[in-house]
Structure 1
Amino acid sequence: MQSLQVLYKENVSISVGSSVKIKGRPIMPFCMTPELQVDFFTETNEDSDIAFSLRVHFGKELVMNSRQGGKWGEEVRFTVMPFRDGQPLEVDISVLSDQYQVTANGANSYPFNHQVDPASVRMIQVWRDVSLTSVVITPREGCDQTPRCQGDPST
C-alpha cells in the first residue's frame, strides 16, 4: 500500500458533522517514544490559531489542546490507549456540536470541548513519527460534497 507524505497538509473547510479518519503506523518501536500529531489550523499557515491539536505519545498518553492568540490552553490528557507496538493505527476525529470526539482504533473515545469554532478551520496537518496510508476528510451529512481522500483505494 502506498504511503502519504509526512508532513501531510490539506486545506479544508469543516463543520459540525464532519470527520477526519487517519490510518497509518508508527515508524519506530514504542520504546523510542514515537508520536503522532494532528492540528486543525484556523488559517492556511502554521502560525495561525489551532482549533484542535491531538498529540499521541505512543505507549504513554494522548494529549489534546488548542492555541489562541499564540497561547496554548489547558491540556486534556488520557493515559488509556488501544495502540499496540508495531500495529497499524486508526484515528477518527468527529466534529460534534460541542466537542471533538476522537476514536482510537475503533475502541476508546476521547472528548475535547470546542475552544475555537470548528467552522474556522482552514487547514489540517498530520505529522511526526508515522507512516500514513490514508487521510479521509468527510464533510457533514447532507453536504453535497464527496469525501476527500488521499491514499485510500476504497474511495
Structure 2
Amino acid sequence: MAALPVPYKRTVFLPVGSSVKIQGTPTKSFSMRPELFVDFHTGTQEDSDIAFHFRVCFGKHVIMNIRKGGKWGQEVRSPVMPFENGHHFELGILVLLKEYQVTVNGRQYYTFPHRLDPGYVKMIHIWKDVSLTSVTIT
C-alpha cells in the first residue's frame, strides 16, 4: 500500500458516533524523540481552533488539549505509552456524546472530554514524524 502524504489534511464532518482510524509507523527511532500530531480543526486553515489535539511523544507520553481563540487550554498528559519503537500502529478516535475515546491497536487507552463541540470539526490534520498507510473516517 502506498504511503499517504505527511502532513495529511482532509476536510471532515465528525458527528457523535463517527470514528477516525489512522494506520502508520514512526519514521524515527524513539531515541530521536519523534512525535505524532493529530488535530481536529474547526476551520479549514491550520490557525483555526482545534477541538481535539492528540500529540504522541513516542516513548515518553501523550498530550491531549484544545486550542480556542489562538490559546491552548489546560493539557491532559498521560504516561501510558502503548506505541512501540519502529512498529506499525492503528490509532482509533471515536467521537462519543461527551468525550473522545482513543484506542491504540484495538485497545482503549485514553479519553478526553469535549471542550469544543465536535460537530464544528471541519478538518483533520495529521503531521510530524510518521509514515501513514491509511486514514479512514466512518
Normalising by structure 1, report the TM-score.
0.87
Report the equivalent of 1:61. 61
Identify unmatched segments of 5+ residues in structure 1. 139-155
Report the equivalent of 2:134. 134
Report the equivalent of 2:10. 10
How big is each residue's C-alpha offset from its partner over 1:77-109, in whole Å with a ceiling of 9 and x where there is no partner?
Answer: 111111111110111000000000111122342
Report how many aligned residue pairs link the two structures. Answer: 138
Report the equivalent of 1:121. 121
Identify unmatched segments of 5+ residues in structure 2. none
1:103 match: secondary structure: strand
Distance in 2 between residues matched to 1:87 and 1:48, nearest whole Å: 32
Which runs of structure 2 are paired with 1:39-78 in the superposition (5 Å)? 39-78=39-78
Greater than 6 Å deviation, 4+ residue runs: none
Report the equivalent of 1:25. 25
**Identity over aligned pairs, percent:** 59
1:124 match: secondary structure: strand
For the structure 1 residues 108 and 59, does the alpha-carbon distance in structure 2 shift closer, same or farther, using more than 3 Å as the test?
A: farther
Report the equivalent of 1:89. 89
Query: Larger Rg: 1 or 2?
Result: 1
Greater CA deviation, 98-107 or 54-63?
A: 98-107
Distance in 2 between residues matched to 1:13 and 1:108, nearest whole Å: 23
